[in-house]
């Protein structure tokens, strides 16, 4: 009798992990046992002991049996919590207060474990210092002998994106000299750009934004250009791999050159693209057009002319490790009426290692 009892106890201990584990059955009959972590209505993630994290397509899931409570988010905005039993097109959620709640599988927008739900709720109202992704790029070159040059390139980006808004900042600078005796010009590049933007979602695709941008360019005799912009944007494409935004609104521009100063109202018209390429590369592209709407200061060389600027930026960042990447950036700034003796186009090309971290 004691042997029988001992065997029964051992059997329970052996099979206990299975009895208290979650299980899903796929349309092809395959079964996976583990802990259901989350689902976004497109895929489902289950953590298994043998295969680790396994992601399956949500439509391929035929049955679900969870021993743990799951947070089931529905299309109507409500969330029901409890162990889930699902078969074919329906889910039965055993709640603590309302008993068993039956919901169609098609109305489920997300499944989350307790840990995933806590992490999700934290993203809804993050602290101001939370959620930042920061990157810095530094490049320096020095030659001596037959040529004597110095070149310094710096770049900085910071972005904090939540479900409701987005804060981004950037700065980049290129400085280069030709140190050979009698070389003219001695300074061959001296330009700095920087700015910040805040965007707020009004709907799933519509957002408003405000931005401030600044630039200096010694070789174009530009002491400082300040641009304050506000307007609306539209998420033309917005998914995990691709984001394409259209933006527009008025801006106030003030330019201080060595010979004169301008201030005027202009339009900001632009588009921004972000595309994931493969597993480790992100491609970014921006194109903006700034046509003047009103008034240069009287007696400046551009009075009475139609003035405009155009900017084009293209870059890639390829992850080499969690914190190290390879960055390439190309920028072109076009000014329709620059000071006499200076050129309309300024082109900047930088490449080098990128150090990034998140907080």
pLDDT computed for residue 252 by the predictor = 93
Q: Are 74 and 108 in contact (CB under 8 A)?
A: yes
Q: Give tens-digit pLDDT for 213-226.
A: 999 998 888 999 99
- Winning range, highest mean pLDDT, from 79-88, 173-182, 217-226, 299-308: 217-226
pLDDT band at 353 (very low <50, low <70, confident <90, very high): confident
Looking at the structure, tell me whether residues 115 and 171 fall in a common domain.
no
Tally of domains within the chain: 2
Q: How confident is the model at residue 2 (pLDDT cuts 50, 70, 90)?
A: low
Q: Are residues 287 and 158 in the same domain?
A: yes
Domain of 86?
A: 2-124
Q: Average pLDDT, stretch 169-186?
A: 83
pLDDT value for 321: 86
Task: Please write the tens of the pLDDT for every residue from 250-271.
Answer: 999 998 988 888 888 999 999 9
Q: What is the pLDDT of residues 73-119, one digit of tens each?
A: 888 888 899 998 887 678 888 888 888 888 888 888 888 998 888 88
- Are residues 137 and 78 located together in one domain of the fold? no
Spatial neighbors of 344 by CB under 8 A, at least 6 apart, are: 334, 335, 336, 338
Cα distance between residue 116 and residue 71, in whole Å: 9
Task: Kindly tell me if the per-residue pLDDT of 229 is higher than 90.
Answer: yes
pLDDT band at 5; cut points 50, 70, 90: low
pLDDT tens figures, 125-143? 777 777 788 888 887 888 8
Mean pLDDT of the chain: 84
* The pLDDT of residue 13 is above 60: no
The pair of structure tokens assigned to 231 is 């307007």
CA distances to 139, 268, 286, 359 from 313, rounded to whole Å, are 19, 15, 5, 27
Judged against a pLDDT cut of 90, whether residue 163 lies above it is answered with no
- At 20 the pLDDT is 55
Q: Do residue 264 and residue 320 come from a single domain? A: yes
Closest CA to 254 of 242, 244, 266, 245: 266
Predicted confidence at residue 98, as pLDDT, reads: 83
State whether 78 and 173 are in the same domain.
no
Is residue 6 pLDDT above 90, yes or no?
Answer: no
Q: From 70, 95, 124, give the residue that closes a domain.
A: 124
Residue that finishes a domain, picked among 91, 107, 124 = 124
pLDDT reported for residue 99: 86
Q: Band of the pLDDT at 240, cuts 50, 70, 90? A: confident
Same domain, residue pair 253 and 325: yes
d(CA 17, CA 33): 10
Tokens matching residue 165 = 């808004």
What count of other Cβ atoms lies within 10 Å of the Cβ of residue 73?
Answer: 21
CA–CA dist 156, 174 (Å, integer) = 12
DSSP state of 339: P
pLDDT at 208 over 90: yes
Question: What CATH number has the domain bearing residue 163?
Answer: 2.40.160.40
Angle CA 240–242–247, to nearest 5: 120
Which pLDDT tens digit goes with each residue over 25-54?
888 888 889 999 998 888 889 998 888 889
Token couple for 223: 């002491």
Task: Please indicate, yes or no, whether residues 230 and 203 belong to a single structural domain of this protein.
Answer: yes
Sign of the dihedral defined by the CA atoms of residues 212, 218, 222, 223, in that order: positive
Same domain, 69 and 199: no
Same domain as 177, residue 319: yes
Q: Both 331 and 219 in a single domain?
A: yes
Band of pLDDT at residue 305, cut at 50, 70 and 90: low
Question: Span 179-199, mean pLDDT?
Answer: 85
Q: Using CA atoms, how far apart are residues 231 and 217, in angstroms rounded to an integer?
A: 27
Cα 82 from chain centroid (whole Å):
34
Do 183 and 274 belong to one domain? yes
Q: Which of 234, 230, 238, 237 is nearest to 246 (CA)?
A: 234
DSSP letters along 171-238, please? Answer: EEEEEEEE-STT-SSSEEEEEEEEEEEEEEESSSSEEEEEEEEEEEEGGGTEEEEEEEEEEEEEEEEE
**What pLDDT shows up at residue 14?**
44
Q: Which residue has the higher pLDDT, 104 or 163?
A: 104
Query: Chain centroid to CA 306: how far?
Result: 36
- Are residues 67 and 156 both part of a single domain? no
Which of 76, 100, 124 is where one domain is finished? 124
Q: What distance in Å separates the CA atoms of residue 287 and residue 332, rounded to the nearest whole number?
A: 10
């Amino acid at each position: 009798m004691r042997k029988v009892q001992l065997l029964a106890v051992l059997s329970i201990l052996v099979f206990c992990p299975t009895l208290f584990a979650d299980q899903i059955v796929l349309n092809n009959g395959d079964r996976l046992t583990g802990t259901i972590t989350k689902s976004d209505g497109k895929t489902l993630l289950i953590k298994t002991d043998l295969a680790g994290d396994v992601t399956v397509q949500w439509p391929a899931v035929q049955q679900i049996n969870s021993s743990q409570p799951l947070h089931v988010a529905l299309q109507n905005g409500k969330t029901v919590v409890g162990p889930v039993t699902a078969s074919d097109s329906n889910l039965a959620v055993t709640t603590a207060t309302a008993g068993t709640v039956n919901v169609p599988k098609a109305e489920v927008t997300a499944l989350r474990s307790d840990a995933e739900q806590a992490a999700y709720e934290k993203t809804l109202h993050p602290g101001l210092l939370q959620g930042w992704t920061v990157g810095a790029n530094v490049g320096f070159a020095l030659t001596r002998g037959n040529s004597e040059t110095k070149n310094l390139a710096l770049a900085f980006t910071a972005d904090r994106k939540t479900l409701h808004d987005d804060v981004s900042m950037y700065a980049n600078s290129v400085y280069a000299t030709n140190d050979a005796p009698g070389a003219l010009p001695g300074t061959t590049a001296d330009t700095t750009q920087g700015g910040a933007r805040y965007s707020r979602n009004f709907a799933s695709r519509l957002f408003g934004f405000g931005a401030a941008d600044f630039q200096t360019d010694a070789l174009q005799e530009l002491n400082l250009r300040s641009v304050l912009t506000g307007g609306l944007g539209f998420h033309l494409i917005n998914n995990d791999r691709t984001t394409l935004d259209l933006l527009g609104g008025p801006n106030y521009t003030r330019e201080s050159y060595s010979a004169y100063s301008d201030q005027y109202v202009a339009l900001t018209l632009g588009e921004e693209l972000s595309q994931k390429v493969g597993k480790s590369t992100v491609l970014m592209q921006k194109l903006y057009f700034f046509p003047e709407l009103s008034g240069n200061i009287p007696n400046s060389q551009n009075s009475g002319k139609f003035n405009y600027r155009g900017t084009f930026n293209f870059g890639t960042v390829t992850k080499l490790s969690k914190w190290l990447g390879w960055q390439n950036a190309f920028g072109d700034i076009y000014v329709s009426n620059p000071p006499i003796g200076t050129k309309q186009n300024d082109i900047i090309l930088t490449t080098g290692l990128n150090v990034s971290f998140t907080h």
